[in-house]
Amino acid sequence: MYQYENAINLNPGQLDYYERLTEALFAIDKPREEDAKFLNMGLRQFPGADWVRVGTAVVDYRLGHHDAAMATLDSVLRPPEHTRGTGTHLRRQDAHQLGSSRR
C-alpha cells in the first residue's frame, strides 16, 4: 500500500497509481481512513475514473460507511444520462430500416 501512496505523493497526476492502489485495497479487510483519502485524491484528479470509484466504495463499505458505498456503486453502474435509452432507440431504428429495405 505504502509504495502506491508514495508514488501518488511523488506524481499525483498518474491514474495508473490510483488504479493499482484500488486493486491492492481489494485484498485488505480493514483499510484505513488514509486509504480512502488517497482514493478521493484520485477522484479529484480523475473524476470519471470508475475503477477508482469502485475502490472508494469497497473502502467505504469496509470502514462501515455502507450507505455511501452503495450510493457510489449505484452511480458507477448507472449509464450516463446522454446514453440512456440510446441502445434501445438505435435497435428499433435499425429494425425499422431493415424491415423497410425488405419490402
Q: Could you tell me the residue ranges of all domains in the chain?
A: 2-101
- Among 26-35, 54-63, 94-103, the minimum mean pLDDT is found in 94-103
**Cβ–Cβ < 8 Å for 36, 59:** yes
Q: What is the pLDDT of residue 95?
A: 47
What is the pLDDT at residue 81? 74
Per-residue pLDDT, 26:
95
∠ CA 5-10-14, nearest 5°, is: 80
Q: Which of 43-52, 65-74, 76-85 has the lowest mean pLDDT?
A: 76-85
CATH T-level assignment (fold) for domain 2-101: 1.25.40
Q: Which of 31, 54, 32, 28 is nearest to 43 (CA)?
A: 54
The predicted pLDDT at position 80 comes to 73
Is there a contact between 22 and 51 (Cβ–Cβ < 8 Å)?
A: yes
Q: Where residue 103 falls among pLDDT bands split at 50, 70, 90?
A: very low
Q: How many CB atoms lie within 10 A of CB 25?
A: 21
**pTM to 2 decimals?**
0.74
CA distance 40 to 36: 6
